[in-house]
Homo-oligomer: A and B are copies of this chain.
């Protein structure tokens, strides 16, 4: 399962509702979703890959992924967050193969090396067959990030990299995040999950009445009614924070959720001075800059740690460190600039 329904504005002005982040080449020269599928294919055969997305993105996604077809898509009738869509996906799999292990990925993460990632997923997949747990992959924090969920690592589950989760904390404040970074034993929740479909459905029935009470609609094929009736709910808040059966496997690969322009400077291969140039962009005597030229050339001369973007008739310039605050910026801009597509 590849979650590919997002329509965020974190890569404004390049990302738009019809061309969201997962369709942009933010971590390599291919769109993130193409990287994501290519990374998993050696482990999961094409007929078992499903892309979860909305109707508006079905065509662009299939265009980016010619090896996939309509059968590989699960098109949600409306966006209700991750919990409803994962419940639906699990039920669809369970119809065909009740004991199946499901891997849930995000279409817009940067992960490397791919073989290390696949090997860990393979090990966790085998653990999921024998353990009635909701496995998540946990990433060792490298900064006091306040935008992620954190996991407190509990008792070992085996003699390898899997542990019980002692506590699940969604998006801590800055002080708490710094404390977690200082102490050992806290991991970021990557949002990459591995579980038997039956375990997920059972846990939803136990802890998530908002969904559990409506699974009957899905079982009777009333998908549109299900999405109409369920509230917006994330799997983190709706289940992982409530269930005692969450386990974590420590990630041994590099992971980035490509959450802001700054991430492009970390994930895409740059020049010797750490600059990333996309399109007709020229960085002269610049250091650590990200330049994205879609609409005419960009020349950056002597800048340091800047994001410079030209797209959709608009030029955007900011220090990389401010790029995570894009939402705040967009609130202060006139609509014609903040939402040029609407």
Contacts and interface: CB of A to CB of B under 8 A. Distances in A.
B297 A318 contact: no
Q: Give the dominant DSSP class at A's interface.
A: strand
A317 B337 contact: no
Interface stretch (A21-29, A35-43, A70-78, A306-314): A306-314
A151 to B, nearest CB: 32
A293 B315 contact: yes
Most chain B beta-carbon contacts within 10 A, residue among A284, A299, A326, A333:
A299
Contacts of A274: none
B296 A315 contact: yes
Given A282-B337, A284-B333, A333-B284, A315 B303 contact: no
Given A302-B322, A319-B302, A332 B297 contact: no
Given A310-B310, A315-B310, A329 B296 contact: no
Interface string A90-111: 0000000000000000000000
Given A302-B322, A322-B302, A296 B313 contact: yes
Contacts of A332: 284
A310 B315 CA distance: 8
B282 A333 contact: yes
A303 B282 contact: no
Interface of A: 13, 282, 284-285, 293, 295-304, 306, 308, 310, 313-319, 322, 325-326, 329, 332-333, 337
Given A295-B296, A300-B317, 17 more contacts: A13-B299, A284-B332, A296-B310, A296-B313, A297-B315, A298-B314, A298-B317, A299-B315, A299-B316, A299-B329, A301-B318, A301-B326, A302-B319, A302-B325, A306-B317, A308-B315, A317-B317
Nearest 3 A-B pairs (CB), nearest first? Answer: A302-B322, A296-B313, A301-B318
